[in-house]
Amino acid sequence: MASTTDFRNGLVIRFDNELWTIVEFQHVKPGKGGAFVRTRLKNVKTGRVLDKTYRSGEKVEDVRLEKKKYQYLYGSDNEYVFMDMQTYEQIHLNNEVVGQTSKFIKDGMEVEILFGEGEALGVEAPIFVELQIVKTDPGVKGDTASGGNKPATLETGAVVQVPLFIQEGETIKVDTRTETYVERVK
Domain end point (choices 124, 145, 172)? 124
Question: Which CATH number does the domain housing residue 29 bear?
Answer: 2.30.30.30
CA atoms within 13 A on the CB side of 159: 6
- Residue 131 CA to residue 158 CA, distance in Å, equals 10
Q: Quick one: 133 and 176 in the same domain?
A: yes
pLDDT at position 47 is 76
Strand order in the sheet with 18-28: 2-3, 59-62, 12-15, 18-28, 36-43, 49-55
Q: How would you write the pLDDT of the chain (186 residues) with one tens digit per residue? A: 888 888 988 888 998 888 888 989 999 999 888 999 999 998 887 778 999 999 988 999 988 888 899 999 998 878 999 999 899 999 999 988 888 888 999 999 999 998 887 888 888 899 999 999 999 988 766 655 556 788 999 999 999 999 988 899 999 999 988 889 999 997
Which range of residues forms the domain containing residue 178? 128-185
> The pTM is what?
0.73
Domain count, the chain: 3
Q: Quick one: 58 and 70 in the same domain?
A: no
CA atoms within 13 A on the CB side of 69: 6
Q: Quick one: 79 and 113 in the same domain?
A: yes
Q: Quick one: 41 and 80 in the same domain?
A: no
Q: Quick one: 98 and 133 in the same domain?
A: no
CA atoms within 13 A on the CB side of 93: 27
- DSSP track, 75-118: E-SSEEEEEETTT--EEEEEHHHHGGGGGG--TT-EEEEEEETT
Question: Which CATH number does the domain housing residue 82 bear?
Answer: 2.40.50.140
Q: Quick one: 51 and 72 in the same domain?
A: no
Domain end point (choices 62, 85, 106)? 62
Q: Which residue from 54, 58, 60 is spatially nearest to 19, judged by alpha carbons?
A: 60
Q: Quick one: 9 and 53 in the same domain?
A: yes
- The values of phi and psi at residue 35, to 5°, are -70, 155
Q: Which residue from 132, 121, 127, 123 is spatially nearest to 168, judged by alpha carbons?
A: 132
